[in-house]
Structure 1
Amino acid sequence: MRLVQVFVPEGDLDLVIETADEIGVDYAVSEETSRGEFEAVVSMPVPPAAVEPLLSALRDAGFDEDSYTVVTAAETIVSSRTEELVDEFVGTRISREELSARAADLAPAASTYFVLLVVSTAIATAGLLLDSAATIIGAMVVAPLMGPALAASVGVVVDDDELATRGVVLQVFGLLASIATAALIGWLLRGTVLLPPGFDVTTVPQVRERITPDLLAVFLALGSGIAGVVSLVRNVGSVLVGVAIAVALVPPAATVGLGIAWAHPTMIVTAGTLVLVNMLSINLTALILLWISGYRPHRGANVDRVYGRIRSRVAVLVVAIAVLSLVLGGVTYGTYQTAAVEHDVQTELATMSDDPAFAELEFREQDVQYELVDVYADNRPVVTVLVERPPGEREPDDFADRVRERLEAATGVELEVIVELVDTRRSG
């Protein structure tokens, strides 16, 4: 339930009372005796779904918008009369005015926003380098990215240019600040005793997960946007949804920063694509769902203009996401190819170990050097095979070629095969 309190200027009391009667809500009038600007305060307990019709009716009746109308959430209302009101005003979403206010609150002051973002990025960067999923999740609790992502879409839908611009600016500069923070931390840590000698950032599982994104990442971002809108318009689970959106944005942004610190172009491109797809997808779903939910500018004359703006923005976002998804599709295909080659090599080596044609030889995969860039550069995979043989046994001169031919037949790919032979004696 909500408690709507209207500060009524001199001469407008009858207008407010008539409007309340037309809407069908109960009210109480309190005489105002402060400075003489207002003659009364009208208090009306209403369901959430009745707030927007009530405020719209007051506006249409000519109520002075320079006055005060306060909407507060009522924790508990003890009255059997509320059941009738709830049955009359069916709905679960909050009013347009509450939506705008909450979206504005979710986009904090710039100083607070950037401090929290830098701290969360520092924690997320440490989690990436330490391969600690728990640390990364902890960083998400601090990240304030949900507010700007939703504020931008709310501003467009309700025709609040200031709110929309603020949301976009905070998103863009926030992600740039996140990337710069991670790059600085990576540059400071690189080559220090805090990282092991020969540390390869691309081999860290948490980092690798974000530099080999696939098309499923689009669904994660779309889901985050849907959850964000639902939590906002129904006022549920905003903290958890904020974590979900932060998970989609901060870790890949930090990965881009690490790619800059390590001067690794592939990291920058793949993780950067993931960041952009996530950010655009969240904004796209927020725009569409807010409009479908029925939110419109309070001035009817502006509806067509706002609808045109939304259509153009949705078109731009869809095209941008589609183009970026081609990159994700390429990464998905390349990742599949590298995994398929490694899997086929492992399977065939196991088969060769059981093949009587190779007598007592045991084949072990030592290493498969086949990265995403090799798929598109048309570089042959380099497979190192460790072969255990009984002491004194000799292998044919063409043994390495025979191993290569078997593996090429299994993988369907031309390979460069290195065979390492080891004399092995096992105890009974």
Structure 2
Amino acid sequence: MRYLEVTVPKGKRAAVIDILEDEGIEYVVSDETSGRGYTAVVRFPIPTRAVEPVLDRLRQAGISEDASVVVIDAETVISEEFSTLREQYSHGGQAGSRTSRQVLRTKADELTPPFTIYAVMLLISAVVATAGLLADSPAVVIGAMVIAPLLGPALAANVGIVTGDSRLKSTGFSYQIVGVAIVIGASIGLATLARLAGLEPAGVDIVVATELQERVAPNLFSLAVALGAGIAGILSLTRGFSEAIVGVMIAAALIPPSAAVGITVAWGMYGAATGAAVLVIVNVLSINLAALATLWIAGYRPQGLFEVSPTRTPTYTYAAIFGIALLVLAAPLAGITLLDFHTTELESVATDEAETVLEEPQYADREVDDVTVELDGNYPIQSVDRIVITVTGQTPGPEPGLAERLHAAISQHSDESLVVEVQYVVAEEHGDVGD
């Protein structure tokens, strides 16, 4: 339920009261004596779902952008007429209430913190995320996501687009761009210090860390988090779900890959940095496109209260920009996805062929221990470098002709030139302990 207080301009008092009478709304009218061009102040309770249509009708009656409209949450309204009005707007008793466009603007604005607080929180988040990636600690990375205030800007930009609020739109986009830049810059600084101090994970190659690997060579499945975050963010705003959980989801799509850009730049791995940067940009586009589409589908259209010009064209324009840019930048991710599928298939084929070859009598004392397809490390789009087959046996040393047999068997399943490497491991036998 909501309680509205509306200032009525001169000459519009009768029209406003006629609308409220026609809607069956109980109201109280007070004379306005401030001399600011208003003749009265009207106060009335209405169901949440009635806010948008009633304000739209009042706008048509002359309540323009210069008027003052205050929307307040109401705990309880005891009135038979209000019960009738609530039943009228209940739409068959469906659960949940759609937030009006007018309230939506306010909520999106409130979720965007002052810039100083925003920048400080992102700096802290960047430091924590960078430390978590360098330490290969998922728990620390999750902690960085929790404190990142990225929900408000992502939602504000798109609410501004569909409602024609240029200030909200520019604030949302500028916060997103500056926020990503802050995280990348802070990550470069911290990672540079870590490198100079000799804190290199895994000894040499930082990309071997699992938490970093998945950010520098992302595939199409990485888009699921960003698209889901954009949709969930709008639903949380319009339906009153928990914004905190959705905020973590949006941060998960932006903070770790932004920190990965900083780390790889600090280590001079510019190919890996490019892969992480593409993921950041793609996730930003995905979040905004999903949020914009969800708002439009949810019915937040032009021609509401205080909207001077239609927003249909700007909405379509931004959706087209987001969509086209996303398709272009998603192409490398598609290539990485195909490589992942190819690598998995090649590993399965190599395993089957190796087991088949080693079943032959001359290799009776040999077994396949492991099969790995290694990539060349040329991020972001890599290629197959070699297939490593680890063979165990009772005798040390290579088996004459085995590598050639395995290469011939595996190569027939691929059109590319393959390198097959066979590694031998001596298996130790442990005798049974007697009674």
What TM-score, normalized by structure 2, do the two folds share?
0.86
Q: 1:87 to 1:372 in 2, by over 3 A?
A: farther
Partners in 2 of 1:189 and 1:310 — Cα distance?
44
2:73 matched residue in structure 1: 73
CA distance in 1, matches of 2:217, 2:381: 14
Q: Tell me the alpha carbon deviations over residues 402-422 of structure 1, each in whole angstroms, 9 at most, x when there is no partner.
A: 343344346665433344445
CA deviation map 1:308-335 (0-9, x unaligned): 2222222222111111111110111122
Tell me how far 1:297 sits from its aligned partner. 4.1
1:362 partner SS: strand
User: Once structures 1 and 2 are overlaid, which stretch shifts more, 380-389 or 102-111?
Assistant: 380-389
Distance 1:414 1:137, change over 3 A: same
Could you say which residue in structure 1 is the equivalent of 2:403? 400
Where does residue 89 of structure 2 map in the other structure? 89
Q: How much has 1:89 moved relative to structure 2?
A: 2.2
CA distance in structure 2 between the aligned counterparts of 1:374 and 1:182, rounded to whole angstroms? 19
- Across the aligned residues of Structure 1 and Structure 2, the Cα RMSD in angstroms comes to 3.0
Please name the residue that 1:151 is paired with: 156
- Pair 161,129 (structure 1): closer, same or farther in 2 beyond 3 Å: same
The residue that corresponds to 2:181 in the other structure is: 176
Which residue pairs with 1:332 in the alignment? Answer: 337
Measured after TM superposition, the shift of residue 3 of structure 1 is 0.9
Does residue 126 of structure 1 match 2:131? yes
* Equivalent residues, number: 423
Q: Which residue identity does 1:302 align to in structure 2?
A: S
Q: Counterpart in 1 of 2:309?
A: 302
Q: How many angstroms apart in 2 are the aligned matches of 1:63 and 1:191?
A: 64
Q: Select between 51-60 and 140-149 the one with higher mean Cα deviation.
A: 51-60
Match of 2:278 in 1: 273
Q: Is the 8 A contact 2:101 2:300 kept in 1?
A: no
Determine if contact 2:391/2:423 at 8 Å carries over to the other structure.
yes
1:342 to partner: Cα distance = 3.2
Distance 2:309 2:191 in 1: 48
| Whole-angstrom CA distance in 2 between matches of 1:360 and 1:215 | 43
Picking from 237, 242, 249, the partner of 1:244 is: 249
* SS at structure 2 position matched to 1:287: helix
Aligned counterparts of 2:199 and 2:424: Cα–Cα separation in 1:
38
C-alpha distance in 1 between matches for 2:205 and 2:17: 72
- Alpha-carbon distance in 2 for matches of 1:110, 1:335: 41
Whether contact under 8 Å (2:158, 2:292) holds in the other structure is: yes
Separation in structure 2 between the aligned mates of residue 257 and residue 279 of structure 1, nearest angstrom: 17
Q: Give the direction of change, closer, same or farther, for the CA distance of 1:104–1:375 in structure 2 (3 Å limit).
A: closer
Of 205, 222, 228, 1:200 maps to 205
Letter in 2 for 1:154: V
Pick from 389, 392, 413: which aligns with 2:394?
Answer: 389
Task: Give, in angstroms, the shift of residue 105 of structure 1.
Answer: 1.5
Instruction: Measure the CA separation in 1 of the matches of 2:361 and 2:339.
Output: 35
State the identity %: 37
Equivalent residue letter for 1:241: V
Separation (CA, whole Å) in 1 of partners of 2:12 and 2:162: 31
Deviates further, 356-365 or 204-213: 356-365
Give me the whole-angstrom Cα distance separating, in 1, the residues matched to 2:202 and 2:7.
69
- Give the superposition deviation at 1:4: 0.7
- When you count helix as a share of all residues, which structure comes out higher? 1
CA contact (8 A) 1:141 1:243 kept: yes
Aligned to 1:283: 288
Unaligned runs of 5+ in 1: none
- Alpha-carbon spacing, 1:355–1:318, altered in 2? closer, same or farther (3 Å): same
Name the SS of the counterpart of 1:154 in structure 2.
helix
Scaled by the length of structure 1, the TM-score of the pair is 0.87
Measured in 2, the distance between the counterparts of 1:86 and 1:58 equals 19
Alignment of 1:135-150 (within 5 A): 135-150=140-155
